[in-house]
Chains A and B, each alone.
Chain A
Amino acid sequence: MAWQWFHRLGSPRWFYQNTGAWLPWLALASVLLLVLGAVWGLGFAPQDSKQGNSYRIIYIHVPAAFLALAGYYIMAISGAIGLIWKMKLSYLVMRAAAPIGAVLTFISLLTGAVWGKPTWGTYWVWDARITSMLILLFLYIGVIALSRAFVREQVADKACAVLALVGTVNIPIIYKSVDWWFTLHQPATIKLTESSSIDASMFYPLLTMIIGFYCFYAWTLLLHTRNLVLQREWRTSWAQQALRGEPLAAGK
């Protein structure tokens, strides 16, 4: 009994029917939190004494970087669940997570670059964290490219899961090695963000944004996964009903 929900989750139809009700709540929560956090961070949080107002980019840069990294693990874990329990739905979550993660990685890279210009006078430095994020973007692009290369979706699912798992094993090694490489080549003159203590008045809007980004991630992941479910179950009558907008009978 305890595992029933888990097996149910494996059924695309059950998933599609039961997640539809979550969407408006997730949408509401993420929009509210993101707007609140952005207004708070942009207008009401105090100015940073060293960096001036450009530091306000932190309120999107850090949450995006958080989710970009967490998203890779979510993708890899979904892939692993798919490989181990042969769960169709899990692969679809993995496939949906790849483009979302890539976009979030891109956001964190771009905001980091724009932030860099007023802070140390150049858009791009080969800072350890920026370089690691760039490699993370390449890892995401690799998974997306591989998923598009196969004609048979089932083969693509499994191949992407293996690649995502290999990437997961590599990420800590890549981070450590890039960190080491950076200390070797750059004396510690430039630092992106002092991770030292951050004042509460700056921290609470950041926390709001981080939670908002998590909600946003869950929302878009559901949206993308539901679409992939419909696309994959294209031939079934329930998927066609759902596409026509007809109510679905309570099913298995």
Chain B
Amino acid sequence: MEFQFAGLAEFLAMEGHGPYVWIAYGVTLVAMAALVLQPVWRRRQLQAELKRQERIRQRRQSAEKKRVAEPA
């Protein structure tokens, strides 16, 4: 088993078929990367949403405390 091409330029050119091969591999790479990154991104979204809800709850709790401490 040996490298089938004389050099990098020949490897990239693929005897004229280069653009097709590289487009196919490139799009596949992008699509597969998207499949991996989408859950990561979605998880971040969920985490941010959780933080936001916790902030709201805390703010509500402290407001409640204040209201109990100094009745109008």
Q: Do chains A and B touch in the complex (CB under 8 A)?
A: yes
Which A positions have Cβ atoms within 8 angstroms of B?
38, 42-47, 52-54, 56-57, 60-61, 64, 99-100, 103, 106-107, 110-111, 114-115, 117-118, 201, 216, 219-220, 223-224, 226-227, 230-231, 234, 240, 243-244
Question: Do B21 and A230 touch (CB < 8 A)?
Answer: no
Chain B contact patch, size range:
20 to 34
A107 to chain B, nearest CB (A): 5
Chain B residues with CB under 8 Å of chain A are: 1-5, 11, 14-18, 20-21, 23-25, 27-28, 31-32, 34-36, 38-40, 42-43, 46-47, 50
Is B24 touching A111 in the complex (CB atoms < 8 A)?
A: yes
- A44 and B3 contact, Cβ closer than 8 Å, known pairs A230-B46, A243-B50: yes
Distance to closest chain B CB from A48 (angstroms): 10
Instruction: Write the nearest CB–CB distance from A209 to chain B, whole angstroms.
Output: 11
7 additional A-B pairs beyond A54-B14, A103-B35, A115-B20, beta carbons within 8 Å, are A52-B15, A53-B14, A111-B24, A118-B20, A223-B36, A227-B42, A240-B50
> How far does the alpha carbon of A224 sit from the alpha carbon of B40 in the complex, in Å?
9
Of the listed residues A54, A117, A234, the one surrounded by the most CB atoms of chain B closer than 10 A to its CB is: A54
B54 to chain A, nearest CB (A): 9
